[in-house]
Amino acid sequence: MVFIVFMEKILNYINGGLQEPVCKQFMINTSPATGQIIGQIPDSDAADVALAVQAAAQAFPHWSACGVQERSKILLKLADLVEKNLDALAEAESLDNGKPLKLARTVDIPRAVQNIQFYATAAMHLHDEAYYTEPQAINYTRREPLGVVACISPWNLPLYLFTWKIAPALAAGCTVVAKPSEVTPLTAFLFSKLCIEAGLPAGVLNIVHGLGHKAGQALVENPDVEAISFTGGTQTGKKIAQIVAPRFKKLSLELGGKNPNIVFEDCDFEKAVQGSVLAAFSNQGQICLCGSRLLVQKSIYDKFKQAFLAKAAALKVGNPALSEVQVGAVVSEGHYNKILSCIKLAREEGGKILLGGGPVQLPAPNDKGFFIAPTVIEGLSQECRTNQEEIFGPVVTLMPFETEEEALQYANGTEYGLAATIWTENLKRAHRIAHGIKSGIVWVNCWLLRDLRTPFGGMKQSGVGREGGFEALRFFTEEKNICIKL
């Protein structure tokens, strides 16, 4: 299949076919790197959600009962098709999101392939428990797929996070109604065409495009949806939790972060600088795992600052299509304005801008794009809003610390607890700090090194539950214990 991504009229994928929203209303989709209109997005509402949920409910008996081997075969075929279309999908992702094409080609789309392959095979290894209740009974536990589930994903890693949810849900035997972010709907639409090509039975996966408070909320509220797997902002997560709590739906929430990146004096200096720049500015700082608070031990603070600033200043900001570009456009005009207002706030709070601090003006065709310079700020207190609130852009703060206790106090001093990175060559210290940090993920001397078998998720306001490995398969299934009297 050859995709033409320019001026794409996106359609919903419901019951195996592509269709316009019931209301026939569309929104415009713009490219953040040029400001140009690149297509139309369905402005779906509860009527489309109802059709999708109905299709998923009809597909559930067969999909859940056809056996894991059959599901695996189709999912692997789908993974192959995504891999075959890697270039077109990467181009679409970069166009829609503003991220460097190289990043989409080497990270986003390959990871989408891996997500599907991983769960297509992992599901075959999910085992049940059995207990011999000597001498009178045998108990065995059956994990049953939940039914129709909702997967709601954000815009920062569009196809990557979309497949990270739907792959385990489908592999576990659930049928899915998915809502990708309205900000970056393109690859999910192209993916729906690949589902048709792969022969995914009608209704097994349904993709409804539209706004969060409209299509997304209708999905969360739908009484026939058994569980919600959500990745997005903490405020949205709270809203969803409030809706589903009285309905006792299963809920997995992967939310925001304000992650510390802690550099000790005994680190491998070059690796720490290089890794910290990557953790700060990858994907324009729009990864929930980005290290946006750089905590550096006082004895090496000045040396680290200079080296970090030099590396960050050398990052090439520009047209995401160019292979030498490392920092592309931020995702939308709204988000661009939000990031700039955060930088303004940092100034008002007394922060000193060491690097960047504003927009980058590029020549045509990117003169109307949303580019922000990698920005480094120092001199702010731990308690100020800049160090407490998620910015989700190419903006980091630098803070010195003296002791391990102080580093831990700063690291744990926000309401978030998603990820942390520690740079030290002292193994005992690495363990001590890793154990003391309240976050779901800790990287030592690396960042974003992922093994899909590991649990993934946040503590505190960064979320509830874990994705990854068997955790996700367990989420999309429910145990039933069967006791047989001998």
Catalytic residue numbers, as ranges:
254, 288
Q: Establish if 179 lies at the interface with ligand NAD (CB under 6 A).
A: yes
**Which tokens belong to 482?**
């069967």
CA–CA distance, 384 with 414 (Å, rounded to integer): 10
Interface positions, 420-439, toward ligand NAD (CB under 6 A): none
What one-letter code names the amino acid at 368? K
Cα 246 from chain centroid (whole Å): 27
Per-residue interface string for the shown chain with ligand NAD, residues 229-268, x marking contact by CB under 6 A: --xxx--x--xx-------------xxxx-----------
3-state secondary structure at position 389: coil
Position among 147, 393, 417, 458 found at the interface with ligand NAD (CB under 6 A): 458
CA–CA distance, 115 with 171 (Å, rounded to integer): 11
**Which span sits near ligand NAD by CB under 6 A: 3-11, 15-23, 175-183, 373-381?**
175-183
Q: Establish if 191 lies at the interface with ligand NAD (CB under 6 A).
A: no
Per-residue interface string for the shown chain with ligand NAD, residues 340-379, x marking contact by CB under 6 A: ----------------------------------------
Q: Establish if 288 lies at the interface with ligand NAD (CB under 6 A).
A: yes
DSSP string over 185-214 = -HHHHHHHHHHHHHTPPTTSEEE--S-III
Position among 220, 280, 307, 376 found at the interface with ligand NAD (CB under 6 A): 220
DSSP string over 242-292 = HHHGGGT-EEEEE----EEEEE-TTS-HHHHHHHHHHHHHGGGG-STT-EE
Position among 48, 96, 182, 226 found at the interface with ligand NAD (CB under 6 A): 182
State the first-to-last Cα distance of the chain, in angstroms, to the nearest integer. 57
Interface positions, 126-155, toward ligand NAD (CB under 6 A): 152-155
User: Rounded to the nearest whole angstrom, what is the least distance from the CB of residue 231 to ligand NAD in the complex?
Assistant: 5
User: Rounded to the nearest whole angstrom, what is the least distance from the CB of residue 428 to ligand NAD in the complex?
Assistant: 30
Rg for the chain (alpha carbons), in Å?
A: 23
> Which residues lie below 8 Å from residue 444, measured CB to CB, with a gap of 6+?
421, 422, 423, 424, 430, 434
Q: Establish if 292 lies at the interface with ligand NAD (CB under 6 A).
A: no
Q: Establish if 336 lies at the interface with ligand NAD (CB under 6 A).
A: no
The Cα-based distances of 277 to 52, 67, 347, 411 in angstroms read 43, 46, 22, 18
* Residue ranges in contact with ligand NAD by CB under 6 A: 152-156, 161, 179, 181-182, 212-213, 216-217, 220, 231-233, 236, 239-240, 254-257, 288, 390, 392, 418, 458, 463
